[in-house]
């Protein structure tokens, strides 16, 4: 399998593909990307700049894109079609999900609850770049004066989504399949840092079963509406007892698939790959199946004598990552750590018999690291 894109999505794709026992080649135009050492081979190549990629990769059976570069995605789609190689991606669904304006209009058309868009709703407001993903560019607007300043600085609102800022716990669910055959997978709980970047994912969810079912139904309605073939995640916030849709992404996400894998054994990359290789949806264990393990997945940075828990953006600041087993008590860590390094980052994966046990083990892991390196905590 070729994973095109060596960033955080590439780390996720390569990690889970290796867990499935698949050979992986990671491709990126930059040499020291996080996923450069996550597969069995790395190819430095500008995919958008050529039309004969698969002459270099004659044994590739499938391609999973792990990036959000329109030129690269278009080139890959064309090259895979010409070579007759499955491309595990849905360009039409992605076009909807990658535009916050288009996807918000979809939520309205489907009658799904979502934060009120400006000029509806009340302050504070939250402004999101129309095309950016994750927390990039997100701005809180607390009053009319700040809104006026924001309008002045941006010049035009056509590239922004401005909504009421609602608070509450955040959740994510992935849905995979093709029209008429969808399966919503496991819900995970998300924790954000101060700049709205996800710093921690926990499973199984604490969301009540009725709301889990509600979220799955919402995901299935969206998938059917955009005729998804592939995978999509849906992020919501529980506000005053109601789930409000924040955003969708019709691509392989980062963080949550690894947490789901360690909690339930469900491998989203394997399911996605088999869908595109066979053209049909395989059976997946149902939501809420008893026996799910507790999991805490979080991102840490060790530098200047301190340990910080921050959003996943910090993982990009390290060098190429490797998988470390039994990492100071964690089941695994994906990290650029080396014994002689004073500054490093890691995604810690800690499991337990249930959520409480996983959280207790996570606390012990953090304590082990702090003691070993004599670190403070910010």
pLDDT digits (tens, 9 = 90+) for 340-355: 999 999 999 999 999 9
Q: For a pLDDT cut of 70, what percent of the chain falls above it?
A: 96
Task: Residues 2-89: name the CATH superfamily.
Answer: NAD(P)-binding Rossmann-like Domain (3.40.50.720)
Crossing angle for the helix pair 100-110 and 209-225, nearest 10 degrees? 110
Q: What's the pLDDT tens digit per position in 114-128? A: 998 888 878 999 888
190: pLDDT strictly greater than 90: yes
The residues of the chain that CATH labels 3.40.50.720 are 2-89
What H or E segment, with its residue span, contains residue 9?
A: helix 8-19
Q: What is the pLDDT of residue 44?
A: 95
User: What are the backbone angles phi and psi of residue 95, rounded to the nearest 5°?
Assistant: -60, -35
pLDDT tier, 49 (very low <50, low <70, confident <90, very high otherwise): confident
279: CB partners within 8 A, 6+ apart: none
- Reply yes or no on domain 167-278 having CATH 3.30.1520.10: no
DSSP 110: H
Angle between helices 8-19 and 256-264 (to 10 degrees): 20
pTM flag (> 0.85):
yes
Residue ranges, CATH 3.30.470.20, the chain? 167-278
For residue 135, the model assigns a pLDDT of: 62
> Of 51-55, 95-99, 293-297, 365-369, which range is least confident?
51-55
């Amino acid at each position: 399998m070729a994973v095109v894109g060596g960033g955080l999505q590439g780390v996720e794709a390569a990690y889970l593909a290796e867990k499935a026992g698949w050979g992986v080649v990671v491709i990126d135009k930059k040499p020291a990307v996080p996923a450069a050492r996550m597969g069995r081979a790395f190819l430095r190549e500008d995919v958008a700049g050529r039309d004969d990629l698969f002459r270099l990769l004659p044994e590739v059976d499938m391609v999973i894109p792990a990036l959000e570069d329109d030129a690269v995605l278009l080139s890959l789609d064309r090259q895979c079609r010409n070579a007759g190689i499955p491309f595990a991606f849905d360009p039409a669904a992605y076009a909807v999900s990658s535009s916050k304006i288009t996807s918000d209009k979809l939520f309205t058309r489907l009658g799904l609850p979502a934060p009120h868009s400006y000029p509806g709703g009340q302050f504070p407001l939250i402004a999101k770049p129309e095309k950016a993903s994750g927390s990039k560019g997100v701005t809180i607007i607390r009053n009319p004066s700040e809104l006026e300043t924001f309008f002045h600085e941006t010049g035009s609102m056509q590239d922004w989504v401005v909504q009421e800022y609602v608070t509450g716990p955040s959740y994510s669910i992935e849905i995979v399949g093709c029209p008429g055959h969808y399966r919503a997978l496991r819900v995970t709980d998300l924790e954000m840092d101060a700049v709205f970047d996800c710093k921690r994912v926990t499973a199984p969810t604490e969301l009540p079963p009725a709301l889990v079912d509600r979220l799955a139904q919402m995901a299935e309605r969206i998938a059917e509406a955009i005729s998804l073939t592939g995978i999509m995640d849906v992020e919501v916030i529980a506000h005053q007892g109601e789930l409000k849709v924040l955003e969708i992404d019709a691509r392989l996400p980062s963080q949550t698939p690894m947490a789901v894998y360690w909690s339930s054994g469900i491998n989203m990359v394997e399911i996605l790959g088999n869908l595109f290789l066979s053209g049909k949806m395989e059976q997946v264990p149902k939501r809420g199946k008893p026996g799910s393990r507790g999991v805490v997945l979080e991102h840490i940075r060790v530098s200047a004598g301190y340990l910080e828990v921050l959003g996943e953006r910090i993982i990009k600041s390290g060098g190429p990552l490797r998988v470390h087993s039994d990492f100071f008590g964690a089941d695994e860590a994906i990290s650029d750590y080396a014994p002689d390094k004073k500054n490093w980052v890691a995604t810690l994966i800690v499991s337990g018999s249930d959520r409480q046990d996983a959280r207790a083990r996570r606390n012990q892991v953090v304590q082990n690291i702090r003691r070993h390196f004599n670190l403070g905590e910010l």
